[in-house]
Structure 1
Amino acid sequence: MTRPVLLGGRRPLQSRSAVTWFLLVWLPVLLALAVIARESTNGFSSENTSAWMRKGYEAIFGAASDEHWPVVHHHIRKTGHFLGYGSLCLALLRGWMLTWVVPLQSLSTARWRGYCVAMAIFCTMLTASFDEVHQSFLPSRTGLVTDVWLDTAGAATLVMLVSISWLRKSKTD
């Protein structure tokens, strides 16, 4: 018996209708994109996130000095980029794997996974690029190429961790 796609196998997702199938497959991606779009507004600029992030940070780790807070805040925001876009990439990977499980069934599992991984990382990089271009038009935001690199690194890292789990599972099968 083959494993389901979400565990790296080749069994397609069954659904009664095309709309239900589309929602089951792509809704996580649409939700992730909606979160990114919301976070790309003036409301999530560095100036607007500092106060509430500081409260959360200090509730968990204790007081942060005024001298060190800007550095801590910067690292929290960049960690959010890394993990947020990494999560988007995993949602995209899931979407592409479920979409291409049947059309690419003639390919080996490794090649099929490779296409899905490449498309997920490419779509994540494209989203990050559009996000930074959008932010460059907002007075309280800055569009940085380095953020695109960071976002893409987050995507590649999380996908690499999933790929390692696939390799481990294939060795135990």
Structure 2
Amino acid sequence: MPSSVASPPVSPDRGSLRHQVSAWTPVVLCVLVIAMESTVYFGADHTTGPLQRFCEFLLHRHFSQPQWWRLHIIIRKCGHFTGYGILSLAWFRAFWMTLPQPLERNRLRITAHALAMLGTLLVASCDETHQLFLPNRSGSFRDVMIDCTGGLIMQMLVWFWMRFGHSKQSKIA
């Protein structure tokens, strides 16, 4: 009985340096972006002005300070959720492409999902711990939970797509 789970890319050069670089470059890029955003220059005190001007221009309206601070927090937390969702997807892709092939497909998929979530948790925890030591930032367990929720939602979307969406596409072709 054929499995409805997408197969990892089978390539004779799976262990090659080029394949490894292709698999892991998105993870490295995501971590670098998160590291850059975790500096003093991306604290709320530095992003509020440019973001407020952009939103007011885009929406053709002026926000009072209380309105703006609520919106600014929502924008920042949505950024956490989205950014770590993308990181989680990059982790999954890298593990899916590089884990040993002898694993049975469902086990490979579950392992890649679990490792992607672990990688997301580790980066989120390191990011928030780093922010504890910056004068205008504060590390927060809540942000780690938001980050991991973004990663979990992305992993669930990938799981559903691989479980249900991919098999329908292959039947059509």
> Is the structural similarity TM-score above 0.5?
yes
Aligned counterpart for 1:122 among listed residues 118, 122, 127: 118
Question: Aligned pairs, how many?
Answer: 165
Deviation at 1:79, TM superposition (A): 0.2
Q: Could you tell me which residue of structure 2 aligns to residue 141 of structure 1?
A: 137
Show structure 1 runs of 4+ deviating over 6 A: none
Q: Write the distance in 1 (CA, Å) between the matches of 2:37 and 2:148.
A: 17
The alignment partner of 1:68 has SS state of helix
Structure 2, unaligned runs of 5 or more: none
Q: What RMSD, in angstroms, separates the aligned Cα atoms of the two structures? A: 2.0
Paired letter, 1:68: Q
Q: Could you tell me which residue of structure 1 aligns to residue 98 of structure 2?
A: 99
Alignment of 1:1-173 (within 5 A): 8-13=6-11, 15=13, 18-63=16-61, 64-100=63-99, 103-107=100-104, 109-169=105-165, 171-172=167-168, 173=171
Question: Compared with structure 1, are the counterparts of its residues 14 and 35 closer, same or farther at alpha carbon in structure 2 (3 Å cutoff)?
Answer: farther
Question: Compared with structure 1, are the counterparts of its residues 61 and 132 closer, same or farther at alpha carbon in structure 2 (3 Å cutoff)?
Answer: same
Deviation at 1:160, TM superposition (A): 0.6
Deviation at 1:55, TM superposition (A): 1.8
The alignment partner of 1:105 has SS state of coil
Q: Deviations over 1:35-61 (max 9, x none)?
A: 000000000000000011112212222
Q: Write the distance in 2 (CA, Å) between the matches of 1:57 and 1:99.
A: 41
Paired letter, 2:67: H
Q: Write the distance in 2 (CA, Å) between the matches of 1:126 and 1:99.
A: 20
Question: Compared with structure 1, are the counterparts of its residues 106 and 17 closer, same or farther at alpha carbon in structure 2 (3 Å cutoff)?
Answer: closer
Q: Write the distance in 2 (CA, Å) between the matches of 1:83 and 1:150.
A: 9
Paired letter, 1:138: L
